[in-house]
Amino acid sequence: MNNIIGYIKKNQKSFEESEFNEIDSLVLSKLCYLDIDGFKHKNKVLKDLKNDKIQNVFNTIRMSRLNKKFLYFLSISKRFKNVKIKNITKKVNYTKHQYFIAITFELNKQNIYVAFRGTDSELLSWKETFDMMFSDRIPSQEQADKYLRRVTKNFSGNIFVGGHSKGGNLAIYSVLNQDLKTQEKIKKIYSHDGPGICNDLSLSPNYKLIRKKINKTLPQSSIIGLIFEKDKNYTVVKSRKIWFLQHDPYAWIVKKNKFALAKDITNFSKRTSNSIKKWVKSVNPQKRKLFVDTVFFVLSSSKAKSWIELKKSWKKELPNIVNSILNIEEDVAKQVKDMLKLFIKYYKFESKQRKKKKRAK
Protein backbone atom coordinates (compact mmCIF):
# COMPACT_ATOMS: atom_id res chain seq x y z
CA MET A 1 0.00 0.00 0.00
CA ASN A 2 1.67 3.19 -1.22
CA ASN A 3 1.25 6.69 0.13
CA ILE A 4 2.39 9.94 -1.49
CA ILE A 5 6.04 9.12 -0.73
CA GLY A 6 5.72 5.80 -2.54
CA TYR A 7 4.05 7.62 -5.43
CA ILE A 8 6.95 10.09 -5.69
CA LYS A 9 9.46 7.22 -5.77
CA LYS A 10 7.61 5.23 -8.44
CA ASN A 11 6.28 7.91 -10.78
CA GLN A 12 9.32 9.01 -12.77
CA LYS A 13 7.43 10.53 -15.70
CA SER A 14 7.73 14.26 -16.27
CA PHE A 15 4.67 16.51 -16.44
CA GLU A 16 5.13 16.57 -20.23
CA GLU A 17 4.89 12.76 -20.32
CA SER A 18 2.05 12.36 -17.79
CA GLU A 19 -0.49 15.07 -17.00
CA PHE A 20 -1.01 16.62 -13.58
CA ASN A 21 -3.29 14.56 -11.30
CA GLU A 22 -4.91 14.50 -7.85
CA ILE A 23 -1.91 12.80 -6.22
CA ASP A 24 0.39 15.53 -7.51
CA SER A 25 -1.99 18.03 -5.93
CA LEU A 26 -1.78 16.37 -2.51
CA VAL A 27 2.02 16.18 -2.81
CA LEU A 28 2.34 19.92 -3.47
CA SER A 29 -0.35 20.75 -0.88
CA LYS A 30 1.76 18.89 1.66
CA LEU A 31 4.86 20.73 0.47
CA CYS A 32 3.04 24.02 1.15
CA TYR A 33 3.46 23.22 4.87
CA LEU A 34 7.22 23.73 4.64
CA ASP A 35 8.74 26.31 6.96
CA ILE A 36 9.10 29.22 4.55
CA ASP A 37 11.08 31.24 7.10
CA GLY A 38 13.81 28.64 6.65
CA PHE A 39 13.42 28.68 2.87
CA LYS A 40 13.57 32.31 1.78
CA HIS A 41 15.47 31.73 -1.45
CA LYS A 42 13.56 33.00 -4.47
CA ASN A 43 12.78 30.88 -7.53
CA LYS A 44 14.38 27.73 -6.16
CA VAL A 45 13.64 24.34 -7.65
CA LEU A 46 12.71 21.22 -5.69
CA LYS A 47 16.02 19.51 -6.35
CA ASP A 48 17.57 22.13 -4.05
CA LEU A 49 15.70 20.53 -1.14
CA LYS A 50 18.37 17.84 -0.84
CA ASN A 51 20.81 20.53 0.23
CA ASP A 52 21.67 19.80 3.88
CA LYS A 53 21.53 23.51 4.73
CA ILE A 54 17.77 23.63 4.16
CA GLN A 55 16.78 20.20 5.46
CA ASN A 56 15.14 21.99 8.39
CA VAL A 57 12.29 23.36 6.27
CA PHE A 58 9.84 20.98 7.97
CA ASN A 59 11.32 21.11 11.46
CA THR A 60 8.42 23.07 12.95
CA ILE A 61 5.96 20.40 11.85
CA ARG A 62 5.26 16.96 13.28
CA MET A 63 6.74 13.75 11.84
CA SER A 64 10.16 15.19 10.94
CA ARG A 65 11.49 11.74 9.86
CA LEU A 66 8.76 11.26 7.27
CA ASN A 67 9.03 14.88 6.19
CA LYS A 68 12.75 14.58 5.45
CA LYS A 69 12.11 11.37 3.52
CA PHE A 70 9.37 13.17 1.58
CA LEU A 71 11.70 16.07 0.75
CA TYR A 72 14.56 13.81 -0.28
CA PHE A 73 12.56 11.79 -2.79
CA LEU A 74 11.00 14.98 -4.19
CA SER A 75 14.48 16.41 -4.73
CA ILE A 76 15.63 13.44 -6.85
CA SER A 77 12.35 12.69 -8.62
CA LYS A 78 12.34 13.12 -12.37
CA ARG A 79 8.74 14.35 -12.08
CA PHE A 80 9.23 16.92 -9.35
CA LYS A 81 12.90 17.90 -9.08
CA ASN A 82 12.69 20.73 -11.65
CA VAL A 83 9.47 22.24 -10.29
CA LYS A 84 10.11 25.89 -9.40
CA ILE A 85 9.00 27.43 -6.08
CA LYS A 86 7.66 30.95 -6.66
CA ASN A 87 5.62 33.73 -5.06
CA ILE A 88 6.00 32.55 -1.45
CA THR A 89 3.62 34.72 0.56
CA LYS A 90 3.00 34.83 4.30
CA LYS A 91 0.50 37.11 6.07
CA VAL A 92 0.21 36.78 9.84
CA ASN A 93 -1.92 39.17 11.89
CA TYR A 94 -2.76 38.37 15.52
CA THR A 95 -5.27 41.22 15.76
CA LYS A 96 -7.28 40.09 12.73
CA HIS A 97 -6.74 36.38 13.53
CA GLN A 98 -5.16 35.85 10.14
CA TYR A 99 -2.67 33.11 9.26
CA PHE A 100 -2.15 32.88 5.51
CA ILE A 101 0.56 31.13 3.50
CA ALA A 102 0.56 30.40 -0.22
CA ILE A 103 3.12 29.13 -2.73
CA THR A 104 3.03 28.87 -6.52
CA PHE A 105 4.73 25.84 -8.06
CA GLU A 106 5.75 26.18 -11.70
CA LEU A 107 5.47 22.64 -13.10
CA ASN A 108 6.77 23.77 -16.49
CA LYS A 109 6.33 26.80 -18.73
CA GLN A 110 2.70 25.86 -19.53
CA ASN A 111 1.42 24.77 -16.10
CA ILE A 112 1.37 26.16 -12.55
CA TYR A 113 -0.10 24.87 -9.29
CA VAL A 114 -1.23 27.45 -6.73
CA ALA A 115 -1.14 25.91 -3.24
CA PHE A 116 -2.73 27.31 -0.09
CA ARG A 117 -1.55 26.09 3.29
CA GLY A 118 -4.04 24.43 5.61
CA THR A 119 -4.13 24.45 9.40
CA ASP A 120 -0.65 23.74 10.75
CA SER A 121 0.64 23.52 14.34
CA GLU A 122 0.37 27.29 15.02
CA LEU A 123 -2.45 28.16 17.46
CA LEU A 124 -3.28 31.27 15.41
CA SER A 125 -3.82 29.05 12.38
CA TRP A 126 -6.27 26.92 14.39
CA LYS A 127 -8.04 30.04 15.68
CA GLU A 128 -8.68 31.34 12.17
CA THR A 129 -9.91 27.93 11.03
CA PHE A 130 -12.37 27.73 13.93
CA ASP A 131 -13.53 31.27 13.14
CA MET A 132 -15.26 29.68 10.13
CA MET A 133 -17.77 28.33 12.64
CA PHE A 134 -19.33 31.78 13.00
CA SER A 135 -17.94 33.96 10.20
CA ASP A 136 -18.96 33.90 6.54
CA ARG A 137 -15.61 35.34 5.48
CA ILE A 138 -12.27 34.97 7.25
CA PRO A 139 -9.18 37.14 6.45
CA SER A 140 -7.30 34.32 4.68
CA GLN A 141 -10.17 33.83 2.23
CA GLU A 142 -9.90 37.48 1.20
CA GLN A 143 -6.12 37.11 0.95
CA ALA A 144 -6.43 33.93 -1.16
CA ASP A 145 -8.67 35.80 -3.59
CA LYS A 146 -6.06 38.60 -3.96
CA TYR A 147 -3.13 36.16 -4.18
CA LEU A 148 -4.66 34.07 -6.97
CA ARG A 149 -5.55 37.20 -8.94
CA ARG A 150 -2.00 38.51 -8.62
CA VAL A 151 -0.07 35.35 -9.56
CA THR A 152 -2.30 34.46 -12.51
CA LYS A 153 -2.68 37.95 -14.00
CA ASN A 154 0.09 37.60 -16.60
CA PHE A 155 0.09 33.81 -16.93
CA SER A 156 -1.50 32.42 -20.10
CA GLY A 157 -1.05 28.69 -19.46
CA ASN A 158 -2.99 26.11 -17.44
CA ILE A 159 -3.65 26.80 -13.77
CA PHE A 160 -4.35 24.24 -11.05
CA VAL A 161 -5.36 25.42 -7.58
CA GLY A 162 -5.56 23.42 -4.36
CA GLY A 163 -4.78 22.79 -0.75
CA HIS A 164 -5.15 20.44 2.17
CA SER A 165 -7.48 21.16 5.13
CA LYS A 166 -8.24 24.91 5.33
CA GLY A 167 -6.13 25.25 2.18
CA GLY A 168 -8.76 23.33 0.21
CA ASN A 169 -11.43 25.78 1.34
CA LEU A 170 -9.20 28.71 0.35
CA ALA A 171 -8.62 27.15 -3.07
CA ILE A 172 -12.35 26.98 -3.85
CA TYR A 173 -13.01 30.40 -2.35
CA SER A 174 -10.18 32.03 -4.31
CA VAL A 175 -11.54 30.83 -7.67
CA LEU A 176 -15.16 31.87 -6.93
CA ASN A 177 -14.51 35.59 -7.31
CA GLN A 178 -12.15 35.54 -10.30
CA ASP A 179 -13.24 36.93 -13.65
CA LEU A 180 -14.40 34.53 -16.38
CA LYS A 181 -11.12 34.82 -18.31
CA THR A 182 -9.12 33.62 -15.28
CA GLN A 183 -11.67 30.91 -14.43
CA GLU A 184 -11.31 29.51 -17.94
CA LYS A 185 -7.53 29.12 -17.43
CA ILE A 186 -8.13 27.21 -14.18
CA LYS A 187 -8.39 23.55 -15.11
CA LYS A 188 -8.93 21.94 -11.70
CA ILE A 189 -9.55 22.97 -8.09
CA TYR A 190 -8.41 20.44 -5.49
CA SER A 191 -9.68 20.32 -1.92
CA HIS A 192 -8.07 17.59 0.16
CA ASP A 193 -10.26 17.19 3.27
CA GLY A 194 -11.01 20.91 3.26
CA PRO A 195 -14.11 22.41 4.93
CA GLY A 196 -17.05 23.25 2.68
CA ILE A 197 -18.15 26.79 1.93
CA CYS A 198 -21.09 28.64 3.46
CA ASN A 199 -24.64 28.20 2.15
CA ASP A 200 -24.90 31.53 0.32
CA LEU A 201 -21.79 30.85 -1.75
CA SER A 202 -22.61 27.20 -2.48
CA LEU A 203 -25.91 28.34 -4.03
CA SER A 204 -24.39 31.21 -6.00
CA PRO A 205 -24.12 31.33 -9.84
CA ASN A 206 -20.32 31.59 -9.51
CA TYR A 207 -20.16 28.30 -7.62
CA LYS A 208 -22.27 26.56 -10.27
CA LEU A 209 -19.80 27.76 -12.92
CA ILE A 210 -16.79 26.17 -11.19
CA ARG A 211 -18.45 23.13 -9.56
CA LYS A 212 -17.38 20.67 -12.29
CA LYS A 213 -13.76 21.74 -11.82
CA ILE A 214 -13.74 20.88 -8.11
CA ASN A 215 -12.02 17.63 -7.14
CA LYS A 216 -12.72 17.14 -3.45
CA THR A 217 -11.30 14.13 -1.62
CA LEU A 218 -12.01 12.98 1.93
CA PRO A 219 -10.52 10.18 4.04
CA GLN A 220 -13.03 7.61 5.33
CA SER A 221 -13.27 9.11 8.82
CA SER A 222 -13.27 12.73 7.69
CA ILE A 223 -14.44 15.40 10.12
CA ILE A 224 -12.81 18.62 8.85
CA GLY A 225 -13.81 18.03 5.23
CA LEU A 226 -17.49 17.57 6.09
CA ILE A 227 -17.88 20.81 8.04
CA PHE A 228 -20.28 23.04 6.04
CA GLU A 229 -20.27 20.51 3.21
CA LYS A 230 -23.74 20.53 1.63
CA ASP A 231 -22.88 19.53 -1.93
CA LYS A 232 -21.66 15.92 -1.48
CA ASN A 233 -19.46 16.57 -4.52
CA TYR A 234 -16.57 14.46 -3.21
CA THR A 235 -14.87 11.07 -3.35
CA VAL A 236 -13.77 9.01 -0.33
CA VAL A 237 -10.17 7.82 -0.01
CA LYS A 238 -8.90 4.80 1.92
CA SER A 239 -6.48 5.54 4.75
CA ARG A 240 -3.92 3.62 6.81
CA LYS A 241 -4.94 5.33 10.04
CA ILE A 242 -8.10 5.67 12.13
CA TRP A 243 -10.46 8.50 13.15
CA PHE A 244 -8.99 12.03 13.25
CA LEU A 245 -5.52 10.71 12.31
CA GLN A 246 -6.80 10.13 8.77
CA HIS A 247 -6.52 13.88 8.14
CA ASP A 248 -2.76 13.30 7.68
CA PRO A 249 -1.85 13.26 3.93
CA TYR A 250 0.80 10.59 4.52
CA ALA A 251 -1.98 8.19 5.59
CA TRP A 252 -3.90 8.33 2.30
CA ILE A 253 -3.52 5.20 0.18
CA VAL A 254 -2.40 5.60 -3.44
CA LYS A 255 -2.75 3.14 -6.32
CA LYS A 256 -0.59 4.14 -9.28
CA ASN A 257 -1.74 7.66 -10.27
CA LYS A 258 -5.00 7.65 -8.30
CA PHE A 259 -6.25 7.35 -4.76
CA ALA A 260 -7.55 4.01 -3.51
CA LEU A 261 -11.25 4.71 -3.09
CA ALA A 262 -13.62 3.58 -0.34
CA LYS A 263 -17.38 3.10 -0.82
CA ASP A 264 -18.40 5.64 1.80
CA ILE A 265 -17.35 7.60 4.88
CA THR A 266 -17.39 5.68 8.18
CA ASN A 267 -20.21 5.66 10.72
CA PHE A 268 -17.92 7.59 13.06
CA SER A 269 -17.60 10.31 10.42
CA LYS A 270 -21.36 10.41 9.81
CA ARG A 271 -22.17 10.61 13.53
CA THR A 272 -19.69 13.38 14.19
CA SER A 273 -20.44 15.48 11.09
CA ASN A 274 -24.22 15.21 11.62
CA SER A 275 -23.79 16.24 15.26
CA ILE A 276 -21.70 19.27 14.25
CA LYS A 277 -24.28 20.28 11.62
CA LYS A 278 -27.12 20.09 14.15
CA TRP A 279 -25.07 21.99 16.73
CA VAL A 280 -24.23 24.77 14.23
CA LYS A 281 -27.88 25.00 13.16
CA SER A 282 -29.20 25.30 16.71
CA VAL A 283 -26.52 27.66 18.12
CA ASN A 284 -26.53 31.20 16.75
CA PRO A 285 -23.29 32.75 15.34
CA GLN A 286 -22.80 35.03 18.36
CA LYS A 287 -22.80 32.07 20.75
CA ARG A 288 -20.54 30.06 18.45
CA LYS A 289 -18.11 32.99 18.48
CA LEU A 290 -18.27 33.08 22.28
CA PHE A 291 -17.49 29.35 22.40
CA VAL A 292 -14.50 29.58 20.02
CA ASP A 293 -13.12 32.76 21.61
CA THR A 294 -13.34 31.24 25.09
CA VAL A 295 -11.48 28.08 24.09
CA PHE A 296 -8.68 30.08 22.48
CA PHE A 297 -8.60 32.58 25.34
CA VAL A 298 -7.70 29.65 27.58
CA LEU A 299 -5.06 28.34 25.15
CA SER A 300 -3.54 31.80 24.68
CA SER A 301 -2.98 32.12 28.43
CA SER A 302 0.15 30.05 27.87
CA LYS A 303 3.22 31.54 26.20
CA ALA A 304 3.15 28.79 23.58
CA LYS A 305 2.38 29.85 20.02
CA SER A 306 1.99 26.34 18.64
CA TRP A 307 0.81 22.88 19.68
CA ILE A 308 4.43 21.73 19.42
CA GLU A 309 5.55 24.37 21.94
CA LEU A 310 2.57 23.63 24.19
CA LYS A 311 3.37 19.91 24.16
CA LYS A 312 6.98 20.63 25.18
CA SER A 313 6.10 23.03 28.00
CA TRP A 314 2.67 21.80 29.17
CA LYS A 315 3.80 21.20 32.76
CA LYS A 316 5.09 24.75 33.00
CA GLU A 317 2.01 26.23 31.26
CA LEU A 318 -0.64 24.15 33.04
CA PRO A 319 -1.03 26.54 36.02
CA ASN A 320 -1.63 29.46 33.61
CA ILE A 321 -4.23 27.49 31.70
CA VAL A 322 -6.03 26.35 34.86
CA ASN A 323 -5.97 29.91 36.20
CA SER A 324 -7.50 31.27 32.97
CA ILE A 325 -10.30 28.67 33.17
CA LEU A 326 -11.05 29.69 36.76
CA ASN A 327 -11.18 33.36 35.70
CA ILE A 328 -13.81 32.87 33.00
CA GLU A 329 -16.91 34.86 33.86
CA GLU A 330 -19.65 32.74 35.41
CA ASP A 331 -22.21 33.54 32.71
CA VAL A 332 -19.73 32.78 29.91
CA ALA A 333 -18.68 29.51 31.56
CA LYS A 334 -22.32 28.44 31.83
CA GLN A 335 -22.98 29.19 28.17
CA VAL A 336 -19.89 27.25 27.06
CA LYS A 337 -20.89 24.27 29.23
CA ASP A 338 -24.43 24.36 27.83
CA MET A 339 -23.08 24.35 24.26
CA LEU A 340 -20.83 21.40 25.04
CA LYS A 341 -23.75 19.52 26.57
CA LEU A 342 -25.83 20.23 23.48
CA PHE A 343 -23.19 18.76 21.20
CA ILE A 344 -22.89 15.66 23.40
CA LYS A 345 -26.67 15.31 23.30
CA TYR A 346 -26.66 15.40 19.49
CA TYR A 347 -23.78 12.94 19.31
CA LYS A 348 -25.56 10.47 21.60
CA PHE A 349 -28.72 10.79 19.51
CA GLU A 350 -26.79 10.11 16.30
CA SER A 351 -25.14 7.06 17.91
CA LYS A 352 -28.53 5.65 18.92
CA GLN A 353 -29.90 6.22 15.41
CA ARG A 354 -26.97 4.38 13.85
CA LYS A 355 -27.47 1.44 16.22
CA LYS A 356 -31.16 1.26 15.32
CA LYS A 357 -30.36 1.19 11.60
CA LYS A 358 -27.76 -1.51 12.20
CA ARG A 359 -30.25 -3.69 14.11
CA ALA A 360 -32.87 -3.17 11.39
CA LYS A 361 -30.49 -4.62 8.83
Q: Which residues pair with 91 in a beta bridge?
A: 100
Domains and CATH numbers, the chain: 4-268 (3.40.50), 283-360 (no CATH)
Buried-state track 79-111, b at ≥16 Cβ within 10 A, e below 16 = bbbebebebbbeeeeeeebbbbbbbbbbbeeeb
303 vs 294: CA distance, rounded Å: 17
pLDDT digits (tens, 9 = 90+) for 33-54: 887 665 655 568 888 877 645 5
pLDDT digits (tens, 9 = 90+) for 317-335: 888 889 999 999 999 999 9
Does the pLDDT of residue 172 top 90, yes or no?
yes
Q: Which of 56-60, 220-224, 231-235, 255-259 has the lowest mean pLDDT?
A: 56-60
Instruction: State the chain's mean pLDDT as an integer.
Output: 89
79 vs 4: CA distance, rounded Å: 13
